[in-house]
Amino acid sequence: MVNTSKSKYSFLLIAAAFMWLKTYIVYKTSFDIKIENFGQELILLINPISFLLFFYGIGLFLKEKNRNRYILGASFVLTLILLANMIFYRFFNDFLTFPILFQTNNMGELGGSISSLFQPADLLLFVDIIILAILMRRSSSKSEQRTPKREKKIYFLLSAAMLFLNLGFAEVARPELLTRSFDREMLVKNLSLYNFHIYDGLIQSKTFAQRAMADSNNLTEIENFVKSSKKKPDDNLFGVAKNRNVIVVSLESTQSFVMNRDLKGEEITPTLNKLAKESYNFENFYHQTGQGKTSDAEFLVDNSLYPLGRGAVFFTNSDNKYTATPELLKQEGYSTAVFHANNKSFWNRDLMYQSFGYDKFFDINSYKATPESSVGWGLKDKEFFQQTADLMKTMPQPFYSRALTLTNHYPFDYKPEDKMLPDAGTSSKTVNNYFQTVRYEDEAVKEFIKKLKENGLYDNSVIVFYGDHYGISENHNAAMEQVLGKKITPYENMQLQRVPFMIHIPGVTDKNPKNIEEPGGQIDIRPTLLHLLGVKDQNRIEFGHDLFSKNRFPFTVMRDGSYVSDKYIYTDGKCFDRKTGQQEKDPKQCEVYSERAKQELNYSDNIINGDLLRFYNQKE
Ligand code: GP9
Ligand code: MN
């Protein structure tokens, strides 16, 4: 009994151990997974175990005579998956995903070069399979026996324990990894290549089902809704920035409360404050992002659609049909690009930008970054902007571009020499650091403008700045109360979701600046900008409005269904007077619009989940 049970498990465990070792070797030799400390190395090392135990464990449900054949087959299939990823990685520096498999243009590019990407050493991947095959022939069994239920139970309980241990480690290393799904590299690093494929497959099948069930009638209702809520834009401003280059700057984690505020007598954002006075400046402008953070803001900016309530649309729906700004401006003769000094696969940007129709994505590989010029999440903003301004010179003009900053990102690390403000001295280190990195970012913006002037790009451009989302979460309310000198009620919390937004048109807004008090949100950026660029709205499907429209009904919906109108702020089921912050005794007047807010979010979700814009284009 002892003997048979031993041999029963030994083949399985040998095969799994081979695969584990092989996976780890492939991680280290074929992928470029950045490891920052011992803990991360440990997670990387153990992450294949739980999946391998499960996958090989399926063999325990088979009769003994078939089991080893299954195990050998399993090793073969997993080896092919490893190999496919290795080859794909050599070409794209990325892991395989299901949307990529379906994206024929991607694969087409790869198809011709597979043979040249294959290296003879890759055959070493099959060594364990040969060993296993020999072992199997030696100890072949004809037994009809099955594994006792109790044994299987213990085996799978152990595998599950391993999975939870792994998930626990991952959660500590990267909170909300699964719901936010940041980056493929991060998923593989924390959960294993195999679990990543399962996760990717689940997302894909859900998207697939929702898409399959949708038809063009779904879009007609939404089109009617959008049409009926459109308001005539301000004719006087039509085309004031016609044919100019567009530079849209995403200010990482930058909230409005830092603007026009002093810290111990020193301005926190002198550059932005000055720019605001020479721009169209929107002082009650809200971010509308969800779990997709920066990428959600990008989605709002380029599509004027809401991001999703759960997960990041950049991941879940990157192969949808969109009519994003790059595509619209291409028809006006623009070239288009995004500048961001991070991994191209972060937030799945590389794939999503293709769907948006961008000509070029200048990712980290287009930048020179050294340890000296990097801090926290990567290349420092000053260096980023300097190099970006030079890269922009290489673009055919006019161009539409977006540049994403990074230094002012949690945990707001900075180099000692970049400290420009006195210590804030609040009870939260995060809040204290935040002021320093915001100040640094502001200085980087100043140098960027200077560099644009030097490069001859300033006068013929329109430069847009927006904050992507909050940087200080509610966990730091105590410190924020110290800073603001008031209690953070749900009303104040909503006001903290305001982010900077300004449109700077040299020669126009410096002579005739405007300060806009009415509320607006990121969803309004596109219609407002396109109108200034002189692009007519030919029944675009978008939920934003021209912020200058005389008869606009100011109404900004947050991703959680809260909203801000001219009169009210509705959040947390409570209704406040927008200007005084007084809570209304009767929330009824707020609830009327709350329904409308939900309807808008719903319609937008339907567009994304059903991939409805593919029908819009068919009709054209
Ligand atoms: C990374 C940057 C930061 O590329 O966009 O992402 P965030 O965590 O702010 O969404
Ligand atoms: Mn961000």
> For residue 562, how many other CB atoms are within 10 A of its CB?
22
Separation between Cα atoms, residue 613 and residue 226, nearest integer Å: 13
Same-domain status, 275 and 385? yes
Of 359, 348, 369, 373, the closest CA to residue 294 belongs to: 348
Of 281, 235, 239, the closest CA to residue 509 belongs to: 281
339 lines ligand 1 (CB under 6 A): no
The predicted structure's pLDDT at residue 200:
86
Task: Give the closest residue (by CA) to ligand 1 atom 5.
Answer: 294
569: which strand partners? 564, 576
Flag whether 575 is in a domain.
Answer: no
Separation between Cα atoms, residue 522 and residue 250, nearest integer Å: 11
Most ligand 1 atoms within 8 A of CB, residue of 364, 406, 559 to mutate: 406
Peptide bond into 411 cis (omega under 30): yes
Same-domain status, 203 and 280? no
The predicted structure's pLDDT at residue 617:
67
Flag whether 408 is in a domain.
Answer: yes
Ligand with minimal distance to 499 CA: 2
pTM of the entire predicted model = 0.82
Q: What amino acid positions are annotated as catalytic residues?
A: 294
Instruction: Give the distance (Å) from ligand 2 centre to CA of residue 202.
Output: 26
Instruction: Give the distance (Å) from ligand 1 centre to CA of residue 474.
Output: 19
Q: What's the length of the chain?
A: 620
Same-domain status, 337 and 195? no
Same-domain status, 146 and 281? no
Same-domain status, 53 and 100? yes
Domain that residue 273 falls in: 236-539
346 lines ligand 1 (CB under 6 A): yes
Flag whether 549 is in a domain.
Answer: no
The predicted structure's pLDDT at residue 1:
38
pLDDT digits (tens, 9 = 90+) for 331-366: 999 999 999 999 998 899 999 999 999 999 999 999
293 lines ligand 1 (CB under 6 A): yes
540 lines ligand 1 (CB under 6 A): no
The predicted structure's pLDDT at residue 333:
98
What are the φ and ψ backbone dihedral angles of 297, each rounded to 5 degrees? -60, -40
pLDDT digits (tens, 9 = 90+) for 170-198: 888 777 776 666 678 888 999 999 999 99
Flag whether 548 is in a domain.
Answer: no
Name the pLDDT band for 589 (thresholds 50, 70, 90).
confident
The CATH number covering residue 445 comes to: 3.40.720.10
Q: Specify whether the CB–CB gap between 23 and 193 falls below 8 A.
A: yes
Instruction: Give the distance (Å) from ligand 2 centre to CA of residue 313.
Output: 15
Question: Quick one: which atom of ligand 1 is closest to the CA of 296?
Answer: 10
pLDDT above 60 for 206: yes
What is the rounded average pLDDT of the residues 201-222? 89
Position 390: which residue type? D
Q: Which of 493, 512, 539 is the last residue of a domain?
A: 539
Beta carbons within 8 Å of 262's beta carbon, 6+ residues apart:
268
409 lines ligand 1 (CB under 6 A): yes
Instruction: Give the distance (Å) from ligand 2 centre to CA of residue 505.
Output: 25
Alpha-carbon dihedral angle through residues 333, 338, 344, 345, given to the nearest 10 degrees: -80
Same-domain status, 173 and 317? no
The encoded tokens of residue 544 equal: 């934003």
